[in-house]
Amino acid sequence: MGPNLTNVSRILSRIDEINRQFNMYQQTEPPKSNFVDVLNDVSNKNKIPRKSALNNISGKTSYSELQSVIDECAEKYNIDNELIRAMIQVESGWQTNAVSNKGAQGLMQLMPRTAAMLGVEDPFDPVQNIEGGVRYISDLTDKYRGDIEKALAAYNAGPARVDSGNIPEVSKRYARNIMAIYRKLRQVS
């Protein structure tokens, strides 16, 4: 039986993350040698449209106000409209200015680094936030070959934790809650 490399992989990922954070403070131009930098270069080619017509929305909003944005993103990224609605309901309760205790921002609760990776410049802009969040869940759904619950757990806990098999119970509950709302919304539509 060969060695278990799961923990080694997690440790190396964490070291890479710490190095990136350290390099941010030490260099004016970080090296372009790691995966996140490559993703940033790719995402810059697909920048999310800036300054939406909805950028004056602050506080609580609703599906009806954002339906066209959600429908457009659902079609563009091949994600069910109802899944997007369920995610927004669980993530922020339709609060455009929501900020979690861990720093996730906006309707789909994007972490600042994830938002930057996705090309979201203003995470409180509903259009940018939804576009970024839907693109991210679409990428995760592709990564996990259509396993929506696993993609949702990765959206919540991060792909590294899901890949290691160490999915936190809170992330499993998060995925179950979204799936329950998603199923109800699908029955209604």
Could you tell me where the DSSP H helices lie in the chain? Answer: 6-26, 35-45, 63-77, 81-92, 112-117, 126-143, 148-157, 159-163, 169-188
Strand partners, 95: 60
**Distance (Å, whole) CA 177 – CA 90:** 8
Q: Which one of the listed residues 29, 75, 91, 131 is annotated catalytic? A: 91
**Distance (Å, whole) CA 73 – CA 150:** 21
Tokens of 144: 């996990």
The contacts of residue 172 (CB under 8 Å, 6+ apart) are 153
Q: Please say if 121 is a catalytic residue.
A: no
Q: What are phi and psi of 95, to 5 degrees?
A: -95, 110
DSSP state of 55: T
Helix/strand/coil for 140: helix
Q: Which residues form the catalytic set?
A: 91
